Structure 1
Amino acid sequence: MKLLHLLALACLAAAPAALPTSMPAWAQDSTPPPPRPDRDTTQDAATEPAEAEAPPDTSAPLTRDLVGPYLAARTAAMENDFEAAAEYYLRALAQDPSSSYLNDSALVTLLASGQIDRAFGLIDERIDAGGAGISSRLVELVTRARAAQDEDWEGLLAALDATGPGDPQGPEVLLDGMLRGWALLGLGRAADADAAFERVRAIPGTGELVDYNMALAKALVGDFESAAALLESDAPDQNIMSAVVEAQVLAQIDRRDEALQKLDDVAGIAIDGVAEDLADRLRQGEPVAFDVVQNPRDGVAQVYLTFATLLANDVDPNPLALIHARMASYVAPDMADARLMVAQMLQSVGQFDAAEAQFDKLREQDQMRPTAELVRIDALARADRMGDAEKAALALTAAHPELPEGWIALGDLMRQQEKWAQAVPAYDKAVALIDPADTDALWFPRYARAIALERLGDFPRAEADLRAALAIQPNNAQMLNYLGYSYVDRGENLDEALELIERAVRLSPDDGYILDSLGWALYRLGRYREAVEPQERAVALMSNDSLVNDHLGDIYWQVGRKREAEIQWSRALSFGPETEEDSQRIRAKLQRGLDAVLAEEAANGGRLPSEPGAAERSATE
């Protein structure tokens, strides 16, 4: 189900997901290299997961006056085009202002598209009309953010007091409790703020989260000793921001050596240099201020951002994550992390232009750190704006030539465009910059460089890179398959090739490319009957792939199923082989049979003689 419908359902249900206990690390390259040489990696559309069917919503309006804007809104919603969906839902809402479905949908899409002021206008209209027809929990979430942005702490407390008790251990109580703590601090009632934070600490599993917010609050009022005690932990930090917060706090109470140790614990985790810059200032004895939060409004934004992160990284990601991130950015417009999270979420649902608007804001605020640049490069590439992506990658490598991640991003862009000769030097730079002992960072650029080298015909170097990458990641099915298929395609090391591919199949038994490699390896070894079963499975998984069908045709021919072979070759031809040479070979097999084609190739140094008119046909196509 698309994000927008999940948002609407979540708001109607008013039940945020349970909080997770851990969050996965952000991955830089989300597009893996191809699974084998000389192959388009586009999967058969039939293999994509089907969209889940939602139960019919009897509250959705379907009258004649509403059907146009309503259907347009649903269409935009299916594309996660929040801005367009909001416009159409508002048009429909003008026809039926009391519809709960339309009110909730309009509010959700306004918030998701960042039109916060218009969302407030809609809320105010519904409140003036008696408050009917709109999700109360979502209204509470938004109106509290408005009070915090206006620094109306009395108003925020009044809104919190007006809320029902709810589940005493639910996430709503945790959110409201931390908002209460910051609101009380905004009124100068530090002791009452402490008591509010202590009450929500009673919710199981929330101790660290509450302690972090209490520490920020303590530090904001100058009680750095208490803040340090709340942040103290025997476990090494794995989060840059937590380490920076603790280091800044420790620096205020002249515990600089401990602060440096906290920063050393996270050295190399991130690429933005924030921890390294702070460590340099500490070593040089420069003054270090506590500036993670500068007022209670920043504290409220941190709460919304924390919930956005938790909801986004749940086992079943909660669609309210985007709205929480939008609220964080609204409350504290200068908070770069909030804008970056919004951009990443928009990018994840294909809204690349909307994500670019967030990057524009970050540039205006001079906050485009390397992490944000990498996210932007990926967003531009996914939007098929490869020229802009290249410019951004080149600018990043020029500004930060010491960052291997920038060179990897540039190499990936070149590889995706099959600019193999330009990809190799980019990966060369990355590999040279990475510590040889950091094998987790090293295997990917070596694998990606191997692909580019193999396409350039430099197989000895490609083979060396593939073997080095496999030494680090011996159970990577794609790499096992790539090296094995390379050997098969070259007619070399066929026994080892089969072993590599069989290992890949055991690791990824339903991968069509790997099954195709297994069938073709068995074919090249002359084990035709054994090749039939995996090749048929490959075709079942990738029915529109030209090469996979071509391979099955050759295998059928060798086991005497010649009519079926011709059918497969015809299918392969209809799906558009990658090159004219491939098309010529298939046509020759259909005209004269595989035996004749193999004989002609044997007599011509392994290549099929050119077909009359082939050059003209290729130029036309």
Structure 2
Amino acid sequence: KALVCDPQAVYVSRKLAVLLVNMGKKEQAIVQLENMIADDPANLQNRLLLGNIYSSMGQRDQARAVYEAVLQIAPDDPQTLLMLGALYASDRDYLQAQKILERLVAVDDKSYAGYSYLAKLYRELNYYDKAMEAYEKALTLSWSPMLAYEAADLYEYRQKYDEAIAIYKRLLEEDEANTKIRGRLARLYIVQGKIEEALAELNELKNYTSDTAVVDLAIGRVLLDEKRYAEAIALFELMLSQDENKDVARSMLALTYYEFGDKDKAMKILHEVPVTSKDYENSILMLAQILLGEKDNQRAATLLRNVIAGEDTRRPSFYFLLAGLLREEGDPAAGREIFEQAEKAFPENPRVFFEYGLYLDRLGELDGAVAKMEQVLAITPDDAHALNYVGYTWADKGINLEKALEYIKQAVDLKPDDGFVRDSLGWVYFKMGRYGEAVTELEAAASMQPDDPTIQEHLGDAYQKAGELKKAVEAYGKAVSLYDDDVKKAHALVELKALQNSDKQD
């Protein structure tokens, strides 16, 4: 009615478009806005609303075209830059998103949204220093507990513990009952060796959680690590006296006695664990490890053979330990036989096939190992480690490269922060001759796992093929310094010296 009285009432027309959106009539809203834009091409608000509607409908190309048209009129419009940058980021076009968002904060250095988006984007791109700087800028502009937690998590990941602790403390001032943050703070104190501070936080945590047994267990582990055996024993015995805590306390009490030097007491406690206990499996493994530690391999093997003989007493892990023991004693065929028994006992358990694959890998039987990993994937297609193993093995052998790339990309999607999986992606690109992409992924892998020599050697190979010879020399040098294996060290050293000699001749 208002438009009948005044057809030129822009405010009313826009309100009508918003109303149509709220009623679910987005197509009619689009028609309404397109007519308004035709009448007034310079009105940016109408264009932005149209772009937002397209974006909400999943019509991303149309939304992008609208936002870019706005920037033709107003190149520095902050809202449009934000929406376009966010759209590129959601489409995983990270480099274009970075370009747009950096342009946004250059235009408006008070844009909280711009810096927060950039922080997340930089982290995704493994530009960790830039990400931390962006988080700091955003939090200075506007404190947000959610964003602060993200920043603290990144600081923790980059081992900037003091900065992470400062944020966690502030978050606890605002929400003292947040058990997740208090637990992370205690863990960081442990990492820093601030044991009393860690114990204080853990004891405080008990005031805010109903599962105090888990916290007591963590306290006991700290005491055990610090060799404060009397305190640990007192705590675990107290837990053992409470029926609901028996399962979690018994094995830790046994371990404490064992480390304290009372092996007989430890074994007596472990032998008392009933097969119905949640801690039964762990108790058998601990018993076997104690015997192995005492060089009593025969008794350990007998124990494991006895428990896998019973249908109610067998567990997959018992087979794995026994097979490994037999292999170390020089009888890999007997170990293989144990895995065959495990497959029959647990035919639907993917871990059995995975561990069998690793066993065959240690024997140098790579084809057999890949076959076992493919059996894992037949049961659990999204097993990142199996995908990575198969993909990397194929890439290393230079076969099935397209399929290897498919597998490893799946693994990266499942484990984006795993440096070893990222190394596999770089390596398959290297084997495909896509050296630029190989360098990008291997640099990311090296930033995640800076002390892994294989990743450094792979990075050296990629730099060399990409023509970045100085960087290749540096990477090979790191690999040589990090390798413990003499054969691998010698191989990296050959590559390093070849490049150095080539540089001298040039």
Q: Map Cα deviations across residues 20-70 of structure 1 (whole Å, 9 max, x no partner).
A: 6999xxxxxxxxxxxxxxxxxxxxxxxxxxx9xxxxxxxxxxxxxxxxxxx
User: Could you say if the C-alpha distance between residues 531 and 504 of structure 1 is closer, same or farther in structure 2, counting changes exceeding 3 Å?
Assistant: same
Gap regions ≥5 residues in structure 1: 24-50, 52-75, 87-108, 115-319, 330-336, 597-621
Distance of 1:538 and 1:455 partners within structure 2: 24
Letter matched to residue 566 of structure 1:
V
Equivalence map 1:261-300=2 (5 Å) = none
Equivalence map 1:524-535=2 (5 Å) = 524-535=431-442
SS at match of 2:479: helix
TM-score (norm: length of structure 2): 0.50
Letter matched to residue 337 of structure 2:
P
Match of 1:432 in 2: 344
Match of 1:570 in 2: 477
Distance of 2:428 and 2:257 partners within structure 1: 38
TM-score (norm: length of structure 1): 0.42
Letter matched to residue 432 of structure 1:
K
Q: Is the 8 A contact 1:81 1:351 kept in 2?
A: no
Distance of 1:386 and 1:519 partners within structure 2: 44
User: Could you say if the C-alpha distance between residues 589 and 444 of structure 1 is closer, same or farther in structure 2, counting changes exceeding 3 Å?
Assistant: same
Q: Map Cα deviations across residues 499-520 of structure 1 (whole Å, 9 max, x no partner).
A: 1011100100010110111111
- Which of 209, 212, 217 is residue 18 of structure 1 equivalent to? 209
Letter matched to residue 529 of structure 1:
G
Q: Is the 8 A contact 2:422 2:442 kept in 1?
A: yes
Q: Is the 8 A contact 1:531 1:555 kept in 2?
A: yes
- Which of 113, 119, 124 is residue 233 of structure 2 equivalent to? 113
User: Could you say if the C-alpha distance between residues 447 and 415 of structure 1 is closer, same or farther in structure 2, counting changes exceeding 3 Å?
Assistant: farther
Equivalence map 1:482-521=2 (5 Å) = 482-521=389-428
Distance of 1:472 and 1:22 partners within structure 2: 35
Match of 2:375 in 1: 468
Letter matched to residue 233 of structure 2:
S
Match of 1:9 in 2: 200
Q: Is the 8 A contact 1:343 1:358 kept in 2?
A: no
Match of 1:327 in 2: 241
Q: Does 1:396 align with 2:307?
A: no
Q: Map Cα deviations across residues 412-433 of structure 1 (whole Å, 9 max, x no partner).
A: 5568999865543222111122
- Which of 592, 595, 598 is residue 498 of structure 2 equivalent to? 592
> How far is the alpha carbon of 1:343 from its aligned partner?
3.3
Match of 2:323 in 1: 411
Which gives a bigger RCO, structure 1 or 2 (Cα 8 Å, sep 6+)?
1
Q: Map Cα deviations across residues 60-107 of structure 1 (whole Å, 9 max, x no partner).
A: xxxxxxxxxxxxxxxx94824232xx5xxxxxxxxxxxxxxxxxxxxx
Distance of 1:551 and 1:17 partners within structure 2: 48
Distance of 2:260 and 2:383 partners within structure 1: 34
> How far is the alpha carbon of 1:345 from its aligned partner?
3.5
User: Could you say if the C-alpha distance between residues 493 and 366 of structure 1 is closer, same or farther in structure 2, counting changes exceeding 3 Å?
Assistant: closer
Letter matched to residue 9 of structure 1:
A
Q: Map Cα deviations across residues 461-494 of structure 1 (whole Å, 9 max, x no partner).
A: 3222111111111111111101111111121111
Letter matched to residue 375 of structure 1:
S
Distance of 1:386 and 1:498 partners within structure 2: 46
Match of 1:540 in 2: 447
> How far is the alpha carbon of 1:10 from its aligned partner?
7.0
> How far is the alpha carbon of 1:356 from its aligned partner?
5.6
- Which of 452, 463, 478 is residue 385 of structure 2 equivalent to? 478
Distance of 1:520 and 1:11 partners within structure 2: 43
> How far is the alpha carbon of 1:570 from its aligned partner?
1.1
> How far is the alpha carbon of 1:401 from its aligned partner?
1.6
- Which of 455, 461, 483 is residue 554 of structure 1 equivalent to? 461
User: Could you say if the C-alpha distance between residues 21 and 368 of structure 1 is closer, same or farther in structure 2, counting changes exceeding 3 Å?
Assistant: closer
User: Could you say if the C-alpha distance between residues 364 and 347 of structure 1 is closer, same or farther in structure 2, counting changes exceeding 3 Å?
Assistant: closer
RMSD (Å) for aligned C-alpha atoms: 4.3
SS at match of 2:451: coil
SS at match of 2:309: coil
Q: Is the 8 A contact 1:487 1:493 kept in 2?
A: yes
Letter matched to residue 523 of structure 1:
F
Farther off after superposition, 451-460 or 360-369: 360-369
Distance of 1:11 and 1:563 partners within structure 2: 49
SS at match of 2:399: coil
Q: Is the 8 A contact 2:343 2:353 kept in 1?
A: yes
Distance of 1:489 and 1:594 partners within structure 2: 26
User: Could you say if the C-alpha distance between residues 511 and 473 of structure 1 is closer, same or farther in structure 2, counting changes exceeding 3 Å?
Assistant: same
Q: Is the 8 A contact 1:347 1:379 kept in 2?
A: no
> How far is the alpha carbon of 1:17 from its aligned partner?
4.2
Q: Map Cα deviations across residues 97-133 of structure 1 (whole Å, 9 max, x no partner).
A: xxxxxxxxxxxx2xx323xxxxxxxxxxxxxxxxxxx
User: Could you say if the C-alpha distance between residues 419 and 527 of structure 1 is closer, same or farther in structure 2, counting changes exceeding 3 Å?
Assistant: farther
Equivalence map 1:123-142=2 (5 Å) = none
SS at match of 2:483: coil
Q: Is the 8 A contact 2:288 2:303 kept in 1?
A: no
SS at match of 1:113: helix
Q: Is the 8 A contact 2:453 2:483 kept in 1?
A: yes
User: Could you say if the C-alpha distance between residues 11 and 458 of structure 1 is closer, same or farther in structure 2, counting changes exceeding 3 Å?
Assistant: closer
Number of positions where the alignment pairs a residue of Structure 1 with one of Structure 2: 301
Match of 2:112 in 1: none
User: Could you say if the C-alpha distance between residues 592 and 443 of structure 1 is closer, same or farther in structure 2, counting changes exceeding 3 Å?
Assistant: same
> How far is the alpha carbon of 1:8 from its aligned partner?
5.1
Distance of 2:369 and 2:233 partners within structure 1: 46
Q: Is the 8 A contact 1:515 1:538 kept in 2?
A: yes
SS at match of 2:242: helix
Q: Is the 8 A contact 2:251 2:270 kept in 1?
A: no
Farther off after superposition, 420-429 or 12-21: 12-21
Q: Is the 8 A contact 2:351 2:376 kept in 1?
A: yes
Q: Does 1:82 align with 2:228?
A: yes
> How far is the alpha carbon of 1:382 from its aligned partner?
9.4
Distance of 1:417 and 1:9 partners within structure 2: 46
Q: Is the 8 A contact 1:450 1:461 kept in 2?
A: yes
Distance of 1:6 and 1:353 partners within structure 2: 25
Letter matched to residue 225 of structure 2:
E
Distance of 2:272 and 2:470 partners within structure 1: 67
Letter matched to residue 498 of structure 2:
R
Distance of 1:390 and 1:529 partners within structure 2: 54
Distance of 2:402 and 2:433 partners within structure 1: 12
> How far is the alpha carbon of 1:327 from its aligned partner?
3.1
User: Which one has the bigger helix percentage?
Assistant: 2
Q: Is the 8 A contact 1:544 1:575 kept in 2?
A: yes
